[in-house]
Structure 1
C-alpha cells in the first residue's frame, strides 16, 4: 500500500499539482502578511498612499498590457520556436510604446498631486517589472513550463514580502512606503530574470534580424478590443472607490479602506483560482449537450456556494480577533466597513458561475454588457454615497455593484441555459460542432 502511494505521489501530474498548490498558497498568504505588515509598520496615511499607488498600478498595467495577451497566447500555442520569439518580440515593442505613454501620464499625475513626486520613479519601476514578470509567467504557462511559472509567481509576489517583513522587524529605519516599492520592484525583476533563464532554449539569435510586424500587432489589438472593455470594467469594480475616498475623505480613511480591501482582493483571488478549475469542464459540458452543461453548472454553483460562504464566514469571524492580536486599534474602530464589504465579496465570487456559463456559450457581448453596467453602478454610487457616508459609502457602493453584476449575469445565463435546454438533440450537436476550442 505504501509503495503504491509513493508511486502515485511520484507521478508528474501529482507532483506538478502539489508544487503548484504549495507555491500558490505561499503567494496568497504573503498578500495577507503584507496587509498586516503595512498596517503595523506604516501610518494610516501612508497606507492610504499605498492604496492609491496600487490602484494606479492596476490601471497602469491595463494600459501597458492592453489585454494583448488574450491574442498572443492563442498564437503562441501552435507556433514554432522561431515564431514564438517573433511574437514575444512584437509584444515587447507594443509594451515599450505603451510604457512611454504611461510615463508621460505618470509625470502629469505627479504634477497634479495624484501621485507623490518622491514615489514617481519607483511607481514606474514597479509598473514595468510587474508587467514584464506577469507576461513572462503567462508565456511560461502557455509553453508548458507550469512549475517554472509558479516559481516565477512566488518570486514576483511572495518571497520578497517574507524577506521584507523580517527586515522591517529587525531594522526600524526600513519601515517606509518607498522601501516596500523598492522590494516590490526587486521581486518583479527577480521573476523576470528567472523567466528569461527558463526561456533560453528558444532561438533568440533570430532576434538580431528582427523587424516589428506592425500589421500583426494591429490585428492583435483589434482582437483584444472587447477584452479591454471587460477588463477595465472589472478594474472599476475593484479600484475606482479608492480615488473617490482620497478626494472626499482623505488619506487616513483611504488607508483603513485599503487595508480591508487588500485582504478581500486576496480572498477573491483565491476564489478565482477555485473557479478556474471548473472552466474546462463547463466548456466541455456545453459541447457535450444540454444535460451535461446543466449538471456541471449546478455542481459549480454548489461548490462556489460552499467555498464562497465558507471563506466569507471564516474571514468575518476571525477579523476581529486578528485585529486585537496585532493591536490594530485604528482599523478595529472601522471594522463595520469590513462587514459591509463582505456581501459584495460573496457575490463577486458567486458571479463566476453565470460568467463562466456565458463564456462557454460564447455570449461575449452579454458578459461585456453586464460588466459595464456594474462599473457604471460603482461609479455613480461612489459619487453619491462616499461624500455622505465616507468609507462606509464606498463599501456600500462595492456591494451594490456586485449585486448588479451577479443579477445581470445570472438573469442572462438563466435565459441562455433555458434556451439551450429547449433545443433538440440534433440542433445541439450541430451547434456544438461549430465551436473551436
Structure 2
C-alpha cells in the first residue's frame, strides 16, 4: 500500500498538480498576511492610499493588457515555436504602446495634483512588472507548464510579502508604503527573470529584423473587445467603491474599508482559483451533451457552495478574535462593515457557477450584459448611498450589485441551458473568464 501511494505521488502529473496547488495556496495566504501586516504597520490613511493605488493598478493593467491574451492564447496552442515567438513579439509591441499611453495619463494626473508624485515611479515600475509577469504566466499555462507558471505567480505576488513581514518587524523604519511598493516591484522583477528563463527555448534569435504584424494585432484587438468590457465591468464592481469613499467620506474611512475588502478579495480569489479547476470539465460536459453538462455544473455548484459556506462561517467567527489579538482596535470599531460585506462576496463567489455555464455555452453576449449591468448598478448605488451611509453604504451597494450579478447570470444560464440542446451550438468567439490574478487587495 505504501509503495502504491509513493508511486502515485511521484508521478509527474500528480506531483505537478500538488506543487501548483501548494504554490497557489502560499500566494493566496500571502495576500491575507499582507492585509494584516499593512493594518498593523500603517495608519488608516496610509492604508486608504494603498487601497486607491491597488484599485488604480487593476484598471491600469486592464488598459495595458487590453484582454489581448484572450486572442493570443488560442493562437499559441497550435502554433509552431517560431510562430509562438512572433505572436509573443506582437503582444509585446502592443503592450509597450499601451504602457506609453498609460504613462502619459499618469504624468497628466501628477500635473493635476490627483496622483502622488513620490509614488508615481514605483507605480509605473510595478505596472510594467505586473503586466509582463502576468502575461508570461498565462503563456506558461497555455503551453502546458503550470508548475513554472505558479512559481512565477508566487515570485510575483507571494514570496516578497513574507520577506517584508520579517523586515518590518525587525526594522521599524521600513514600515512605510514605499517599502511595500519597492518589494512588490522586486517580486515582479524576479517573476520576469524566471519566466524569461522558462521561455528561453523559443527561437527568439530568428526574430531579427521581424516587423510587427499590425493586421494580426488589429484582429486580436477586435476579438478582445467584448472581453475587455466584461473584465472592466468586473473591476468596477470590485473597486469603484474605494474612489467614491475617498471622495465623500475620507482617507481614514477608506483605510478601514480597504482592510476588510483586502481580506474578502482574497477569499474571492480563492474561490476563483477553485472554480477554474472545474472549467475544463464544464466545457467538456457541454460538448458531450445535456446530461454531462448538468452533471459538471452540479459538481461545480456543490463544491463552490461548500467552499463558500465554510469560508464565510470561518471568517465571520474568526475576525473579531483576530482583531483583538493583533490590537487593531480602530478596525474592530467598524467590524459591522465586514459583516455587511460578507453576503456580497458570498454571491460573487457563487456567481462563478452560472458564469461558467454561460462561458462553456459560448454565450459571451450574456456575460457582457450581466457584468456591465451590475457595474452600472454598483456605480449608481455607491454614489447615492456612500454620502448618506458612509462605508456601510459601500458594503450595501456591493451586496446589491453582487445580487444583481448572480440573479442575472443565473437567469441567463437557465435560459441558455434550455436552448443549448434544441439547436446547434452558437459560433461566437469565446474569451476567458475573469482572471483572479487581476484582483488586488
TM-score by length of 2: 0.95
**8 Å contact from structure 1 (residues 288, 432) kept in 2:** no
Structure 1's 435 and 118: CA in aligned 2 closer, same or farther, altered over 3 A?
Answer: closer
Counterparts of 2:238 and 2:319 in 1: how far apart (Å)?
A: 20
Match of 1:264 in 2: 264
Match of 2:286 in 1: 286
Counterparts of 1:433 and 1:248 in 2: how far apart (Å)?
A: 46
**Matching of residues 23-422 of structure 1 within 5 Å:** 23-420=23-420
Deviation at 1:433, TM superposition (A): 10
Runs of 4+ in 1 over 3 A off after TM superposition: 432-437
Deviation at 1:105, TM superposition (A): 0.8
Counterparts of 1:388 and 1:434 in 2: how far apart (Å)?
A: 47
**8 Å contact from structure 2 (residues 133, 192) kept in 1:** yes
Counterparts of 1:177 and 1:357 in 2: how far apart (Å)?
A: 41
**8 Å contact from structure 1 (residues 286, 432) kept in 2:** no
Task: Provide Cα deviations, 1:372-422, integer angstroms capped at 9, x if missing partner.
Answer: 11000000000100100111111111111100000101111112223346x
Counterparts of 2:3 and 2:291 in 1: how far apart (Å)?
A: 40
Secondary structure of the equivalent of 1:278? helix
Structure 1's 434 and 114: CA in aligned 2 closer, same or farther, altered over 3 A?
Answer: closer
Counterparts of 1:327 and 1:118 in 2: how far apart (Å)?
A: 30
TM-score by length of 1: 0.96
Secondary structure of the equivalent of 2:252? helix
Instruction: Name structure 2 gaps, 5 residues minimum.
Output: 431-441
**8 Å contact from structure 1 (residues 16, 147) kept in 2:** yes
Secondary structure of the equivalent of 2:202? coil
Instruction: Name structure 1 gaps, 5 residues minimum.
Output: none
Name the Cα RMSD after superposition.
1.4
**8 Å contact from structure 1 (residues 287, 432) kept in 2:** no
Counterparts of 1:436 and 1:241 in 2: how far apart (Å)?
A: 32
Secondary structure of the equivalent of 2:200? coil
